[in-house]
Amino acid sequence: MKPNHIFYLIIIAGIIGIAGCGGRDNELKADATDIANIMCRSIDAMKKLRGADPADSLMVKKLQVEYNIVQEEMTKVYQDFRTKYKEKVTTKEFSDQFRKYLNTAMLDCKSLSKEDREAFEKGMK
């Protein structure tokens, strides 16, 4: 094989490798967004539960059921995430990248308090 052909094969392999990594990165970003969405729903459900009139036992019961459903969904999403990324979860690079994506996605949550929003913004840096 000529040296030019080897050079082009290396370039093509590099492009394919980079494209493959980008796909995994997009998948991690989507998973972080899913987790952020369920976290936001959990925050919202807790706010509603705290804001409910304790005298309205029917409403409190309904909101408790909603909160429990969200918590069960969150547990399932976390278990799936840990199963999917079991080897990577312990690496610092993976954790940093995931945290960045999660912080960015959490900023879309309307239920965040001012302090929580600031904490997520700080975590993006």
Hey, what are 24's tokens?
Answer: 């995994």
Length of the chain counted residue by residue: 125
Average pLDDT for the chain: 83
- The mean pLDDT of 51-59, rounded to a whole number, is 93
C-alpha 75/C-alpha 29 separation (Å) is 19
pTM summary value: 0.74
Q: How many Å apart are CA 66 and CA 60, to the nearest integer? A: 10
Yes or no: say if 124 and 52 are a contact pair by the CB < 8 Å rule: no
pLDDT at 19: 41
86-123 confidence digits (pLDDT tens): 889 889 999 999 999 999 999 999 988 888 888 888 87
